[in-house]
């Protein structure tokens, strides 16, 4: 049985439109998740280790103030389009759209005020919570009134995140959750002793602004071959890598499949990622720099967490040979990602 509780987490500042931010606590015997109505943010996720004790494995803040200041999308649902759009420009039905540039020359994770920075309307379910919002036509430069539902359900060791959307005009859409994980427990200094595997034969090389070049490259014989588990610290050293921030190309089938696994041998904590999405962005927290004070006042240095963001391929709206990212009126966007937490 999953227990669902709701409580007030804080009040949005007046300049952000005010409004009460609620926190929803989903709890099973093995996992406890805290989710905010601001940005559908996973603020805490506690799982058991080999010793049977719970530990919080996601980065974030103790108070609302942390989330209303600038931070790197900790735990949030990002959209309308997760990841990068080159030069913030795209054309749909012959009309060019220009988005806000918030990542060098590109638009990232929905723009200046994306889905991560707004309040969502919650509905409590027997085993979870469904958030809804209407993104109005023209919001952040995107076409169409977009209705979006994000549903979190917890069942035993499994957290499911379902994303649905409907639009009044053709629009690009690509939703993901941007949680930063450290299975040693949030606040641990690095992820070098984690073992990671990603079920992908191909990845997307990127230019120096992190936009895919258009090539779909084989992982075979490269540092991107993560089909067998690698110990992250040793792997980065071996290939002299600064870290990962790349899309791995998954099988093009819209059915649930296992796509990635992370485990932390010292504690026995392990996490599997299953999804219906065509890609997964593996990011090793390269831009964390210790300047943010997180939960319990700890700082988050470089490589102190990883993200496994299930999503469409970056800049797909400008690359016709990438999986389709356009949602048409009368159709529904519907994807699910399942995170399964185990102790070994």
Torsion of CA 234, 292, 205, 281, to 10 degrees: 90
From residue 13, alpha-carbon distances to 68, 69, 72 in Å are 8, 11, 20
Catalytic residue of the set 178, 194, 264, 335: 178
Nearest to 272 by CA among 192, 183, 189: 183
Residue 152 annotated in ligand binding: no
333 has binding-site annotation: no
Structure-token pair, residue 171: 């629009």
Any known ligand binding at 192?
no
Residues 6+ apart with CB under 8 A from 124: 4, 6, 24
Q: Please say whether the beta carbons of 85 and 312 come within 8 A.
A: no
Active site residue 178: yes
Active site (annotated) includes residue 71: no
155 is in an annotated binding site: no
Of 248, 275, 58, 78, nearest in space to 161 by CA: 275
Q: Is 182 annotated as a binding residue?
A: no
Burial of 92 per CB tally in 10 Å (0-12, 13-18, 19+)? middle
According to DSSP, the residues that pair with 95 across neighbouring strands are 92
116 is in an annotated binding site: no
- The residues annotated with a catalytic role in the active site are 178, 309
Q: Can you say which residues are annotated as belonging to the binding site?
A: 83-84, 178-180, 245
Q: Can you say which residues are annotated as belonging to the binding site for beta-D-galactose?
A: 83-84, 178-180, 245
């Amino acid at each position: 049985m999953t227990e669902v509780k709701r409580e007030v987490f804080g009040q949005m500042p007046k300049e952000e439109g005010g409004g009460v931010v609620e926190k929803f606590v989903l709890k099973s015997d093995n996992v406890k998740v805290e989710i905010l109505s601001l940005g559908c943010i996973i603020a805490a996720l506690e799982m058991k280790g080999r010793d049977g004790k719970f530990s919080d494995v996601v980065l974030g803040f103790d108070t609302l103030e942390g989330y209303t200041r600038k931070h790197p999308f900790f735990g949030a649902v990002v959209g309308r389009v997760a990841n990068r759009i080159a030069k913030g420009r795209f054309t749909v039905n012959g009309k060019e759209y220009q988005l806000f540039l918030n990542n060098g020359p590109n638009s990232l994770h929905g723009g200046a005020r994306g889905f991560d920075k707004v309040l969502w309307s919650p509905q409590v379910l027997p085993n979870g919570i469904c958030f809804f919002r209407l993104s109005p036509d023209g919001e952040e430069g995107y076409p169409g009134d977009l209705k979006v539902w994000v549903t979190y359900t917890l069942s035993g060791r499994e957290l499911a995140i379902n994303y649905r959307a409907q639009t009044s005009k053709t629009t690009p859409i690509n939703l993901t959750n941007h949680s930063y994980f450290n299975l040693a427990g949030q606040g641990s200094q690095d992820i070098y002793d984690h073992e990671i595997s990603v079920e992908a034969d191909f990845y997307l090389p990127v230019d120096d602004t992190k936009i895919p070049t258009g090539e779909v490259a084989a992982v075979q014989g490269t540092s991107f071959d993560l089909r067998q588990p690698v110990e992250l610290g040793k792997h980065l050293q071996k290939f002299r890598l600064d870290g990962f921030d790349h899309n791995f190309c998954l099988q093009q089938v819209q059915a649930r499949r296992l796509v990635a696994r992370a485990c932390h041998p010292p504690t026995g904590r392990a996490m599997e990622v299953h999804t219906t999405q065509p890609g997964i962005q593996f990011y090793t927290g390269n831009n964390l720099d210790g300047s943010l004070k997180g939960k319990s006042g700890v700082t988050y240095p470089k490589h102190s967490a990883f993200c496994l963001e299930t999503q469409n391929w970056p800049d797909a709206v400008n690359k016709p040979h990438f999986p389709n990212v356009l949602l048409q009126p009368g159709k529904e966007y519907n994807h699910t990602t399942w995170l399964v937490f185990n102790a070994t």
